[in-house]
Amino acid sequence: MFVDASKEVPEADVSAVAALDEPTRRRLYEHVVRRPDPVSRDEAAEALGLARQTAAFHLDRLAAESLLDVVYERRSGRTGPGAGRPAKLYRRSTRQFAVSLPDRRYELAGRLLAQAVEESEATGEPVRDVLHRKAEELGSQLGGTADAALLDLLERHGFEPRREDDTIVLANCPFHALAREHTQTVCGMNLHLLRGVLHGLGEAGFEACLAPRDGRCCVVLQPAA
C-alpha cells in the first residue's frame, strides 16, 4: 500500500521474505498458517519431527520478522492459582508483506479507482474527474506529511528518479502493467498524483508533465515555467 510504505522500512519486507528461504523455517511457517488454532512449540516440533529447541528457535525467528504473532493461552482451561503458566503459541501474523522488483503499487491504483467509481455513482461526477481529484489529494497528503526532499520521496515510493539535465525522469512506473493496458486512465491518475506530491511538498521548481517513452514512467518533472 502506497501510504503505508511511507511509514514502513521497505527492507523489513525483504528481510521477512528472506527468512522463509531457510527450509525448516519455511516448513514451520506453512504448518502454523494451515492450522485453524494457534500452535505450540511442542505441537510444531512433533508434527514436523524436529527437536523442540530447533522448532522454538525458528518459530521465534518467524515471530521476530512479524511473519507470526505470539499469543499466550492456558491449554488446560483452568484459571487461578495452580493453573500453570500460559503456553506460548504461534499463529499467522495479521501483517501483509509485498516485495516486488521493480517496485509496483497496484493496491494504490485499485483503491483510487474504486473510490472514483463509488463517488461517481453517488454524485454523478464523471469517474475520470473524480479519479484525478482523488489522486491529487493523495499526492498532496503524501507530500505534506513527508520528512524527505523530492527525490528521496519519489525513491521511497518506487519511482526510481534520476536527473537528466534540469529534468527529473522517473525510471520506474509503479503501475506498469495497468498503464500498459489502460494507458490514458492510469497515466492521467499518475500525473495528478505527482502534481499533488509537488503541491504538498511546496515544490514550485518543477511541474509534472506527460512525456511517455518506452522503458520509463509516463510522467516527468520538468522545470516550472
Question: What pLDDT is attached to residue 103?
Answer: 76
- Quick check: 1 pLDDT over 70? no
Please identify which residue in the block is written with the cell numbers 493523495: 138
The architecture CATH gives domain 106-223: 2-Layer Sandwich (3.30)
Q: DSSP string covering 35-59, please? A: SSS-EEHHHHHHHHT--HHHHHHHH
Write out pLDDT tens, residues 15-29: 777 888 899 999 999
Question: What pLDDT is attached to residue 16?
Answer: 77
Q: How confident is the model at residue 73 (pLDDT cuts 50, 70, 90)?
A: confident
Answer yes or no: are the C-beta atoms of 58 and 22 closer than 8 Å.
yes
- Cell for 115? 473510490
Question: What pLDDT is attached to residue 145?
Answer: 87
pTM for the structure as a whole: 0.66
Question: What pLDDT is attached to residue 76?
Answer: 62
User: What is the Cα Rg of the chain in Å?
Assistant: 23
Write out pLDDT tens, residues 92-143: 998 877 666 667 888 899 999 999 999 999 999 999 999 999 999 999 999 9
Write out pLDDT tens, residues 147-189: 889 999 999 888 999 999 999 999 999 999 999 999 999 999 9
Question: What pLDDT is attached to residue 147?
Answer: 83
CB neighbours of 30 closer than 8 A, spacing ≥ 6? none
Question: What pLDDT is attached to residue 146?
Answer: 80
Domain ranges of the chain: 2-92, 106-223
Look at the domain 2-92 and name its fold: Arc Repressor Mutant, subunit A (1.10.10)
Same fold, 2-92 and 106-223: no
- Quick check: 86 pLDDT over 60? yes
